[in-house]
Amino acid sequence: MSEFESMRAQLPASIMRGDVEKVLRAVMSEREPWEWFTWARIPFPSAVAILRALRDGNFLQSEHLTERGAALARELYVQAAPDLRCRNCMGSGTDWLALEKVYLRYLKIFEGRPRGEDPELDQGAMTPESLFRRLALMLQQGDVAGKNIAILGDDDLASVALALTGLPASVTVFEIDARICEYIATLARENNLDIRVVQQDLTRQLPRELLGTFDTFVCDPPETEAGLLLFVEKGLGLLRAGDAHAGYFGATVMEASLSKWKRWQMRLLQNHEIAFTHILPPFTEYESWPDEKPISDLLPLAHIAARPWYRFAFYRLETLPNFQPAQDFETELSKIFYFDEESYYEAFNG
Amino acid sequence: MVVEQFLREAGVARGDLVRVVRALLEYSAPTGAADAWQVAGRANVPFAELVDILQKLHADRLLEYDAARMRLTPDGEALARSLDLAPTHDPACRTCAGSGVEFTQFAQALQEFAPLLAERPPAISSYDQGALTADSVFRRLARMYSQGDVAQKKILLLGDDDLMSIALALTGLPREIAVVEIDPRLCDFIAGVAAKKNLPISVFQHDAREKLTSDLHGAFDTFVTDPTETIQGLLLFVEKGLSTLAPGDGRAGYFGITLIEASLHKWNLWERHLLQNHAIVLTQVSAPFSLYAKGAEQVSVPQIDFAPLSRAPRAPWYRSSFFRIETLAEFVPPADYDTNPRDELYQDAESLDEAWALLARGEAQSPIVIPEEFLSASAERAAAATHGLGRHIIAEFWNCANELPLQGLDTAIEDAVRDARATLLDLRIRKFYPQGFSAIALLAESHLSLHAWPELGYVALDVFTCGQADPQKIVNSLEKHFRPQDTAFLKIPRGRARDIIASQVIQEGIAT
């Protein structure tokens, strides 16, 4: 029996050879253990299961591969794949230095934001630098200046950053959390920013008069299949008919398998007149969140990360000339909407 | 309303005008005037349309130029403002030229590689050649390397006028490299360099329109190709690439696509077709960072009545986005195929050469013709999307005139099922005390259920069928049996019903 076959026997059948290769490659490439999850590019619970199997099979000791682990890597033809992201833009391809003044103003506001994210609502904020990298990309694509922008869910205060640039024609936030709505509305008043806040549960219908009236939407959907589609298709319902309108959304491979990515992509391409113009590597980083947990039985991960490690890829889609805003709908979604078997929290169950 | 008039007269989309004017502003920002070829590269508008827009801007005195450089006139700046555009810089990262990666690690390989580009046989446009700059080759390579698709991998290059095979081999990382290339001069050149430098590259001279040799099928971890940009041309190259990948998950394919020769309409068709027909997923679509030396090498320049574009570009301007696809666990390499000779592989109405020829003749660009098989496939997809996995009808019968509905109900159901070309597997009818009855029919194609309240003259009917059986026919037959005066239906395409149920329920007000 090969090294691979012997370790494979310890894993659930849903874990593929390619998944093991990815985790091995991440361990060989990254010194910071929490970074393994970004570069493994498979759902967090699967990566944790593989790390446990590697440890139990004596392939991994602390954060290093053992002799046996190295033999397994050779058997699978796995070698290190270093992080070659540009250090200036962290892989986003855009430079936000031109927005520095706006950034400094935003930073002050961001640091004063109320904490106590609600894990039930899958909240968590990206780092200000990440947000400004996104902003630079949106500017570069011409989706900000003079545009009516809709933000679906705004625990990052992206609306504030956008409004501070003074470039959009309008900024509208759809947010379920009354505290965030109130906070953004207050900020807008205090800083004389033109932001409209709509307290909105996205499973319910959007205000009819706002459908089909925006040029750009941005959202960070939950990572379940239904959750992502709900956010993005609500976004597509807000865009105006016709070409050259844009939608942006973050998606991670840490809580969504590539099979799920494929289902999203197919569904969006089949049902809407759009094309994906960008799927950028995970340059968006999340701040640590209140119930972030260590993995106590895995030594290198037994303390929570010192630096942000949870990252997102960033999608841009653009509408084609025949595009019509998606029909609005209501839906009954329970907890499954936020969490499924690929969610972060699954790794801590059982 | 200057903008509206301009768009009407020029017959262009607002989005495209915005892109061209924005590119003009960006490239004017540093020195006050923009290089026309750089604007053409940045605007992300098909070339012929770009020229139309620039010519019209010039004719309307919104744009002025000398030699290769252009600037907006004060009226042009006013137009920009009414498009909500202000002077701006392209925020592309200067450190990595927008690619998001660094390749300093490969400095030595680059040093060895760069001189080879000058020795390479000159590009021939009939092979759709036009090679990447050395930096762009290494940026692509760095992206591939950091995704784990290079080290210890078996890599296939499908067409290699960029000499990426040599760049890859010089890093010493891949396990094996194979090149499939139509041009015998390039084949000789690559084989010669490989022999001289002792690089692990196998070269196969081959026309990609014909089937590959069977030993290449399902044998590689990674493929890279720069396809032609007609609808079938791109699919031919990418699907050939897929046929060379080993089965299973975690293999990768890379290809470049432009917006200069392909509208987003084609992007949509390609993305959809590839996802639909293969167990793959799009994992990256980069910004258009890959620059081609094509322009700089161009011997002939387009004969266009627009001076700044009638001289050869001074620097690379033509660029493409780099796609990465990854295989899923269910992936099986598709069968290779010979091309249909009628397929247009190299040129269509959006191609650069075609655009130049049209512009020289003073003709307008004609829209892209979508091949018939795409339209029919797309209609089938649309039908499938509407029907979902099966069709479900929930029917309400009120004020039924048949006062003895139990009599002959079994025959009525059997006939209804037969008429709808469905197969009855089992039928149960149950009468309740003091009144009312239910019927359940198990069909090979799903089910039928019926609950009657004779005292109210009301029947609740539920018919669900998959495949070709038509549930509406069953409902219609049973309607004849019960003879209701009022009916209502809710049709649900099962399998894609989540949003539909919600919207129908709200529209028709059947549920609260």
Mean pLDDT per 10-residue interval, chain B, length 512 residues: 86 88 90 89 87 92 89 94 84 90 94 92 69 93 95 96 96 96 94 96 91 91 93 90 94 94 89 91 93 59 76 86 94 80 71 70 63 56 55 91 90 89 85 88 89 91 85 92 90 64 48 36
pLDDT of residue B385: 45
pLDDT of residue B181: 94
* Rounded mean pLDDT for each run of 10 residues along chain A, 350 residues in total: 83 87 93 89 91 93 93 94 90 89 92 68 79 94 94 93 95 93 93 95 93 96 89 96 94 89 93 95 83 86 87 94 89 66 74
CB atoms within 10 A of CB B443: 22
Kindly state the tokens that stand for A277: 């113009």
pLDDT of residue B506: 46
CB contact under 8 A, A94 and B91: yes
DSSP class of residue A206? P
CB B359 within 8 A of CB B302: yes
CB contact under 8 A, B250 and A278: no
pLDDT of residue B108: 95
Annotation says B290 is catalytic: no
Annotation says B451 is catalytic: yes
Report how far residue A89's alpha carbon sits from residue B100's, in angstroms, rounded to the nearest whole number: 7
Report how far residue B217's alpha carbon sits from residue B204's, in angstroms, rounded to the nearest whole number: 14
pLDDT, tens digit, 9 for 90 and up, residues A180-215: 899 999 999 999 999 999 999 998 999 999 999 999
A22 Cβ partners below 8 Å, 6+ apart?
A39, A40, A41, A42, B148, B250
Kindly report the three-state secondary structure assignment for every residue of B172-228: CCCCEEEEEECCHHHHHHHHHHHHHHCCCEEEEECCCCCCCCHHHCCCECEEEECCC
CB contact under 8 A, A328 and B146: no
HSE toward the beta carbon, residue B401, CA cutoff 13 A: 8
CB contact under 8 A, B91 and A259: no
How many angstroms separate the Cα of B485 from the Cα of each of B202, B488, B495, B496? 78, 10, 32, 32
pLDDT of residue A122: 60
Nearest by CB to residue B100, choosing from A18, A86, A274, is: A86
pLDDT of residue B88: 79
CA B3 vs. chain centroid, Å, equals 31
Kindly state the tokens that stand for A121: 């609502």
Annotation says B446 is catalytic: yes
A336–chain B Cβ distance below 8 A for any pair: no
Report how far residue A54's alpha carbon sits from residue A64's, in angstroms, rounded to the nearest whole number: 11
pLDDT, tens digit, 9 for 90 and up, residues A93-125: 999 888 999 999 999 988 887 766 665 656 678
pLDDT of residue B440: 94
Comparing CA positions, the residue from A127, A128, A103 lying closest to residue A307 is A127
Q: How far does the CA of residue B401 sit from the closest CA of chain A (Å)? A: 37
State the sign of the Cα–Cα–Cα–Cα dihedral A102, A84, A4, B157: positive
Nearest by CB to residue A279, choosing from B142, B279, B285, is: B285
Share of chain A above pLDDT 70, in %: 95
pLDDT of residue B509: 46
Report how far residue A157's alpha carbon sits from residue A162's, in angstroms, rounded to the nearest whole number: 9
CB atoms within 10 A of CB B68: 19
CB A316 within 8 A of CB B321: no
Alpha helices in chain A (DSSP H): 3-8, 17-29, 36-40, 44-56, 67-75, 100-111, 128-140, 158-165, 178-190, 225-238, 258-271
pLDDT of residue A3: 85
Report how far residue B383's alpha carbon sits from residue A270's, in angstroms, rounded to the nearest whole number: 11
Q: Which residue of A has its CA nearest to B276?
A: A266
B213 Cβ partners below 8 Å, 6+ apart?
B204, B206
pLDDT of residue B159: 93
Q: How far does the CA of residue A327 sit from the closest CA of chain B (Å)? A: 8
Report how far residue A274's alpha carbon sits from residue A315's, in angstroms, rounded to the nearest whole number: 12
CB A251 within 8 A of CB A315: yes
CB A307 within 8 A of CB A32: yes
Q: What are phi and psi of A115, to 5 degrees?
A: -100, -170
Task: With beta carbons under 8 A apart, name residues in chain A contacting B103.
Answer: 84
CB contact under 8 A, B264 and A18: no
Share of chain B above pLDDT 70, in %: 86
Q: How far does the CA of residue A269 sit from the closest CA of chain B (Å)? A: 6
pLDDT, tens digit, 9 for 90 and up, residues B260-282: 888 888 999 999 999 988 999 99
DSSP class of residue A289? -
CB B345 within 8 A of CB B230: yes
CB B151 within 8 A of CB A80: yes
CB A138 within 8 A of CB A144: yes
Q: Which residues pair with B280 in a beta bridge?
A: B327
Q: Which residue of A has its CA nearest to B259?
A: A277
**Which ipTM score applies to this complex?**
0.93
